[in-house]
Structure 1
């Protein structure tokens, strides 16, 4: 069996690579190999516990996307990559030859290693359909839930379980969403969670206590949290085992790739959670687990499989995030103020705040707060953070493009915008322009 393109993995990165490969190279044969017979939509997983009625409502319809394009699909587990012979071998004994290979092997949750973490009632949040089915049933019978972690998934899962009337505690080491937001936004979301009945506790786990099932979480300060369900959401690790066995260059952050998503083997590409990313401003390597980033990289890989195209290259990664927790939408792009100062940038910060409808009497009006971080030397935007209603989810994409194009505070201040009373903030008080104006005033001073 031989294909022009073989893709290992069928989540956001693998799926998008296959679609892009067919569109850019319609004469090439494409095979996607997926380990699971049922794939999940990763970003939708937290919502299976509350908003969605079942785990089945979050299934990723891989076949629906790929079969109309003529992409073949194989459900099997790849056990070995042979770069010299250009073969992949599977658990069922198949050998498949390829001209170009793409690794989209994703990530897996970090497993807790605390004493007692083997007790019944201790879970992580993987992308595994059958695990999640059993997990969801356990949530229904739980009363006191402790979630360890302060990232997006921890907060989203906690908020969803709270909707079921459960007693939810989020245990975080320092502050919520620390890697993506500055302190004032962390405090904003913590306050909102507390208002909705979710307790936020600051500390570290020492051990999990109980008989056969979890009963309490003991912290290193000696205090204890009662719990009959503990969820660890303390990060994800890239799935790089196949790449390591194949002799590809792998760092602590994932599989190394160049600007065209090629690995250290010129005919093997890699995209998504399994890849090492490099910061847009500093070029430093780091780990980033986002479906939106995976699809961005997948489009680059798919376009460059057989012919390099300079306009479709990865010029480093801008982390762009959004979430909705307890009715508060939070979004961020680029560097936080804290990270920018730590990297040595001299920065100016601008703020804008106001309603996202005009007049503010419309029933779906939300207050929106925008924080923009600029470099003092030329006023170029380095980062953005927004909190408010659902309009924030698209506002951050404007600012991600501004970062990618290195726009200045002056250029953002003179941004030409469309507004409407039912849809946006007032043109007089559009928060992005307000924040740019605030920064410009500080730059002049």
Structure 2
């Protein structure tokens, strides 16, 4: 029997960071990570295999990060957890005994079995497996008409990359707007316009009724009877927690099959933790369960779990996710953190919204300058920031991280209005029109 002190099941973002952090914090402990696949994909980089990278092998997370930290790596599959005796049974090797166990088994793509034809050839769910993804890539070479079902981040990013590769791309979203869960209508409209200007056929507010074909997909039929020619279909309808191994072991899961955890990522069973997409997520603002499954959230949870494996020595509790996102669609970047105005009102918050539009470099005549639109959402009574949305140039990526921290720390419109910034003509907006300060001032004038 193999023996270890800390066993992590799952080798993506949550598992990797749990393992490396645990080894740094508890240097005397033996740490082992076990995963099914020989290589690990960068989760958020998968769409870029199909346009920019042209090879799934270029989207790997290097094993050096794990091995150089002193973590043992085993390629195998855990098929059973015996929580009473602290033993994990493997598919190919012998059993492993552990002292502490972290489940980081991630998520699985939603397969729409309610759509006739979901199982035809060339209908592709997106699995985080290098061989599978390269197989899709090779099959798409001789295909021209691609339909992407789902207008969230994965669907939109796939549509953009496939279009860059010269395909005829249609994206179909059942909601009224693409990216509606992360953004309010203004930013959604900017994103959709960017896709349309680059000749992606964007169809929103409509369901897919059938996927048609003889053995392989030929058309996609919408609920209004319209048919779209399709050589392939990409399923970008989201993911669900991969929690079967936990459920079979008698570890508590919620109604959405996510493993129930507390703020230190402890499960219902002593000495067993869970992090990443397989673990339950609660909203920072409402404490409700929300299906926000992100690598960045997994990274935060991994650090919390790893630091507290042997007692709550580090008060780095997880107070809830704020749903921070970023993406780039052709020449526009987009970022969001916290609540949208729509959802804030649905939850009963009285809000004031500050807005500002400027250029992301100064002067605006500099090459590569982009228009930057920022919306900040504050609680009316306290002035505390609870949401932010941006579109613009590449500076959006780090600006949304600043605002994510501001939300986590409960900063107010007044504090953000006087927020001190470093600016440079080639890198940022002007200091006299810095968007965070200016949008905060706009909100203050409405109190």
Counterpart of 1:346 in structure 2 is: 350
Counterpart of 1:38 in structure 2 is: 39
Counterpart of 1:135 in structure 2 is: 136
SS in 2 for 1:207: strand
SS in 2 for 1:22: helix
Counterpart of 2:232 in structure 1 is: 229
Maintained 8 Å contact 2:107/2:239 = yes
> What's the C-alpha RMSD, in Å, of the aligned pairs?
0.9
- What is the deviation of 1:112? 2.1
Which of 310, 327, 331 lines up with 1:327 in the alignment?
Answer: 331
Counterpart of 1:426 in structure 2 is: 430
**Partner deviation per Cα, 1:378-428 (whole Å, 9 max, x = no partner):** 111110000001000000011001100111111110111111111111010
Maintained 8 Å contact 1:115/1:208 = yes
Separation of aligned partners in 2, 1:309 and 1:288? 28
Q: Which ranges of 4 or more aligned residues in structure 1 deviate by more than 2 Å?
A: none
Counterpart of 1:198 in structure 2 is: 200
Counterpart of 2:222 in structure 1 is: 219
SS in 2 for 1:286: coil
Counterpart of 1:8 in structure 2 is: 9
Maintained 8 Å contact 1:352/1:433 = no
Maintained 8 Å contact 1:3/1:30 = yes
Which of 244, 249, 272 lines up with 2:247 in the alignment?
Answer: 244
Counterpart of 1:415 in structure 2 is: 419
- TM-score scaled by length of structure 2: 0.97
Maintained 8 Å contact 2:9/2:15 = yes
- What is the deviation of 1:310? 4.6
Maintained 8 Å contact 2:307/2:314 = no
Maintained 8 Å contact 2:54/2:137 = no
Counterpart of 2:281 in structure 1 is: 277
SS in 1 for 2:433: coil
Separation of aligned partners in 2, 1:53 and 1:169? 21
Structure 2: tracts of 5 or more residues without a match: none
Counterpart of 2:81 in structure 1 is: 81
| Deviation larger for 94-103 or 207-216 | 207-216
SS in 1 for 2:5: strand
Separation of aligned partners in 1, 2:267 and 2:348? 31
SS in 1 for 2:16: helix
- What is the deviation of 1:93? 4.6
Counterpart of 2:70 in structure 1 is: 70
Q: Where do residues 18-417 of structure 1 align in structure 2 (5 Å cutoff)?
A: 18-62=19-63, 64-113=64-113, 114-174=115-175, 175-202=177-204, 203-253=206-256, 254-417=258-421
**Partner deviation per Cα, 1:323-346 (whole Å, 9 max, x = no partner):** 001221110000000000000000
